Amino acid sequence: MAIAEDLEVASFLKQQPKKLFIGGRWVESASGKTFETIDPSSGQVLAKVAEGDVEDIDRAVAAARKAHESGVWRELPPAERAKMLWKVGDLIEERAQEFAQLDSLDNGKPINEMLLFDVPMSAATFRYYAGWATKLDGATQQTSFPGKYLSYTLREPVGVVGQIIPWNFPLMMAAWKVAPALACGNTVVLKPSEETPLSALLLAEIMQEAEIPDGVFNVVPGFGETAGARLAAHPDVDKIAFTGSTEVGKLIAKAAADSNLKRVSLELGGKSPNIVFSDANLRRATSSAFLGNFYNQGQMCSAGSRLFVQNDVYDKTLDELTKIVEQTRLGPGIDPMTQMGPLVSRKQMERVLGYISVGTKEGARLVAGGKKPEGLDSGFFVTPTVFADVDGKMRIAQEEIFGPVLAAIPFSSEEDLIAKANDTMYGLVAGVWTNDVKRAHRVAHALKAGAVYVNCYNVLDPATPWGGFKQSGWGRELGAYALDLYTEVKNVIVDIG
Question: Site residues (CB under 6 A) for ligand NAI?
Answer: 164-168, 191, 193-194, 223-225, 228-229, 232, 243-245, 248, 251-252, 268-269, 301, 348, 351, 400, 402
DSSP string, 33-81: -EEEEEETTTTEEEEEEE-B-HHHHHHHHHHHHHHHHHTTTTTS-HHHH
- Rounded to 5°, the CA angle 42-37-328 comes to 40
CB of 378: closest distance to ligand NAI in angstroms? 21
CA dihedral 456, 458, 459, 460 (to 10 degrees): 170
DSSP string, 361-420: HHTPEEEE--SPPTT-TTS-----EEEES--TTSHHHHS---SSEEEEEEE-SHHHHHHH
Burial label, 185 (beta-carbon count in 10 A; 0-12, 13-18, 19+) = buried
Residue closer to ligand NAI (CB basis): 255 or 307: 255
x-or-dash string of contact with Mg ion, 32-71, rule CB under 5 A = -----xx---------------------------------
Cβ-based neighbours of 359, under 8 Å, separated by 6 or more: 366, 387, 390, 394, 395, 396, 405, 407
3-state secondary structure of 146: coil
Cβ-based neighbours of 252, under 8 Å, separated by 6 or more: 164, 232, 240, 242, 264, 266
- The Cα–Cα gap between 38 and 379 comes to 10
CB of 170: closest distance to Mg ion in angstroms? 9
Residues between 165 and 224 with contacts to Mg ion, criterion CB under 5 A: 195
Cis peptide before 120 (omega within 30 of 0): no
3-state secondary structure of 171: helix
106 binds, among ligand NAI, Mg ion, none (CB under 5 to 8 A by kind): Mg ion
**Helix 198-209 vs helix 170-183: angle between axes, to the nearest 10 degrees?**
40
CB of 307: closest distance to ligand NAI in angstroms? 18
Residue in the shown chain whose Cβ atom is closest to ligand NAI: 224
Residue closer to ligand NAI (CB basis): 119 or 343: 343
Residue closer to ligand NAI (CB basis): 314 or 380: 380
232 binds, among ligand NAI, Mg ion, none (CB under 5 to 8 A by kind): ligand NAI
CB of 368: closest distance to ligand NAI in angstroms? 21
- The Cα–Cα gap between 494 and 147 comes to 11
Cβ–Cβ under 8 Å, residues 483 and 180: yes
CB of 108: closest distance to Mg ion in angstroms? 8
> Does the footprint of Mg ion cover residue 343 (CB under 5 A)?
no
385 binds, among Mg ion, ligand NAI, none (CB under 5 to 8 A by kind): none
Applying CB under 5 A, among 51, 56, 103, 106 the residue interacting with Mg ion is 106
CB of 40: closest distance to Mg ion in angstroms? 6
Residue closer to Mg ion (CB basis): 14 or 365: 14
Q: What are the C-alpha distances in Å from 80 to residues 61, 183, 492, 496?
A: 24, 10, 26, 34
Burial label, 357 (beta-carbon count in 10 A; 0-12, 13-18, 19+) = exposed
Number of shown-chain residues binding Mg ion (CB under 5 A):
4
Q: Which long-range contacts (CB under 8 A, 24 or more apart) does 422-425 make?
A: 422/446, 422/447, 422/448, 423/392, 424/271, 424/306, 424/397, 424/398, 425/246, 425/398, 425/470, 425/471
CB of 150: closest distance to Mg ion in angstroms? 55
74: closest CA among 171, 213, 175, 206? 213
194 binds, among ligand NAI, Mg ion, none (CB under 5 to 8 A by kind): ligand NAI
DSSP 224: I
Residue closer to ligand NAI (CB basis): 243 or 310: 243
168 binds, among Mg ion, ligand NAI, none (CB under 5 to 8 A by kind): ligand NAI
- The Cα–Cα gap between 390 and 407 comes to 6
CB of 107: closest distance to Mg ion in angstroms? 6
Residues between 279 and 298 with contacts to Mg ion, criterion CB under 5 A: none
38 binds, among ligand NAI, Mg ion, none (CB under 5 to 8 A by kind): Mg ion
CB of 473: closest distance to ligand NAI in angstroms? 8
Residue closer to Mg ion (CB basis): 38 or 330: 38
- The C-alpha R_g of the chain, in whole angstroms, comes to 23
- The Cα–Cα gap between 321 and 339 comes to 16
37 binds, among ligand NAI, Mg ion, none (CB under 5 to 8 A by kind): Mg ion
The residues annotated as belonging to the active site are 267, 301
- Using CB under 5 A, list all residues that contact Mg ion: 37-38, 106, 195
